[in-house]
């Protein structure tokens, strides 16, 4: 009789555990940001504000509302990252979709992902909650925001990882459709927080197919409070006779749990016959103030300079300075 009761209890436990495992894990997260911006020139505009018309930014504005739905069960999961607002209109490839992908963990080390996912190039991301500076760099603005296709990530160890990807040309949107010959091949090598990224292929349906993107992104904790981030990139196409190169440093010091200061100097240069090696430099001083665990204020004091008149939003100016204060809420 005891054996029967024990067997029943064991079976019940297994059934309950199986039911609990079958439920999977659902998470909901997101960000909302708003800002006020002004400049010290006669015309409106703010470089790096990441909206479709940065030349019109000179008052209060909306960033975007970003909501991420994620569900994982067993070895598989799905992520639906939806974004609305001026920033989303500028960055999204397909309507309100910032990211939409499914993934499968074939082993503890190997993961396959299919769908639309944010780019693996560069130091900065679309969501301001994950950036130290509110305005974005010229390198970030020039590079792809997202990719649509498949990729495989392999973690050799905690320190070493590899990634391979086959995607559409990154400038294709849902309105363009899919072009079999507008394809990109991507790769990444990661080692102890340093990443070397590579992309080859077309950038849109009509571009040449020989574009090469080389990108290094990394960072170092120089002390318990001081961090140095680095992003450098080189892009070229012989057939289209165009490209760009640039670098940005991210110097950040945390003074307390609620206050940090950062400086981002950057250089960006257009290459090729069509651009005549035009260049722009920018320096952004940023302050991060955490008002609560979810809400922070980011203040950017930014100086842009170009003898070639390629400052974003200021095509007739050789220099400009802007002040932007943003509130960013994360949940």
Contacts of 16 (CB under 8 A, 6+ apart): none
SS3 131: coil
The tokens of 330 are what? 């994360």
Q: What is the pLDDT along the chain (331 residues), one digit of tens a residue?
A: 444 444 444 445 444 454 455 689 999 999 999 999 999 988 889 999 988 788 888 889 999 999 999 999 999 999 999 999 988 887 777 788 999 999 999 999 999 999 999 999 999 999 999 999 999 999 999 989 999 999 999 999 999 999 999 999 987 766 676 666 789 999 999 999 999 999 999 998 888 899 999 999 999 999 999 999 999 999 999 999 999 999 999 999 999 999 999 999 999 999 987 667 899 999 999 999 999 999 999 999 999 999 999 999 999 999 999 999 999 999 9
Between CA 147 and CA 197 the distance in angstroms is 14
User: Are 121 and 197 spatial neighbours (Cβ–Cβ below 8 Å)?
Assistant: yes
Between CA 301 and CA 272 the distance in angstroms is 32
Domains and CATH numbers, the chain: 25-330 (2.40.160.10)
Between CA 319 and CA 246 the distance in angstroms is 18
CA distances from 169 to 32, 153, 184, 211 (A): 29, 20, 6, 10
DSSP H or E segment with residue 29: strand 25-39
Contacts of 190 (CB under 8 A, 6+ apart): 160, 161, 162, 163, 196
pTM above 0.85, yes or no: yes
DSSP H or E segment with residue 287: strand 279-290
Between CA 283 and CA 276 the distance in angstroms is 23
Kindly give the residue spans of alpha helices, DSSP state H, lying in 159-269: none
Between CA 56 and CA 113 the distance in angstroms is 38
């Amino acid at each position: 009789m005891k054996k029967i009761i024990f067997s029943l209890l064991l079976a019940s436990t297994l059934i309950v555990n199986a039911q609990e495992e079958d439920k999977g894990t659902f998470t909901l997260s997101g960000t909302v940001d708003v800002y006020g911006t002004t400049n010290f020139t006669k015309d409106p505009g703010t470089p790096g504000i990441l909206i479709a018309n940065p030349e019109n930014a000179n008052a209060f504005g909306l960033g975007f509302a970003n909501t991420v739905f994620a569900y994982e069960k067993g070895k598989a999961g799905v992520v639906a990252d939806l974004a609305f607002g001026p920033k989303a209109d500028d960055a999204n490839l397909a309507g309100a979709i910032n990211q939409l992908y499914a993934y499968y963990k074939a082993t503890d080390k190997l993961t396959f992902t299919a769908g639309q996912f944010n780019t693996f190039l560069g130091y900065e991301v679309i969501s301001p909650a994950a950036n130290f500076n509110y305005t974005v760099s010229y390198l970030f603005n020039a590079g792809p925001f997202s990719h649509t296709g498949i990729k495989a990530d392999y973690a050799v160890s905690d320190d070493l990882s590899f990634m391979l990807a086959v995607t559409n040309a990154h400038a294709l949107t849902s309105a363009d459709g899919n072009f079999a010959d507008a394809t990109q091949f991507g790769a990444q090598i990661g080692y102890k927080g340093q990443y070397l990224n590579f992309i080859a292929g077309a950038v849109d349906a009509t571009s040449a197919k020989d574009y090469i993107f080389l990108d290094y992104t990394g960072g170092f904790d120089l002390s318990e409070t001081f961090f140095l981030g680095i992003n450098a990139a080189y892009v070229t196409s012989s057939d289209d006779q165009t490209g760009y190169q640039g670098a940005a440093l991210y110097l950040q010091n945390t003074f307390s749990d609620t206050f940090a200061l950062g400086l981002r100097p950057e250089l960006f240069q257009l290459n090729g016959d069509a651009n005549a090696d035009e260049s722009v430099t920018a320096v952004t001083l940023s302050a991060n103030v955490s008002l609560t665990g979810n809400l922070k204020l980011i203040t950017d004091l930014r100086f842009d300079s170009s003898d070639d008149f390629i400052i974003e939003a200021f095509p007739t100016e050789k220099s400009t300075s802007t002040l932007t204060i943003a509130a960013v809420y994360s949940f």
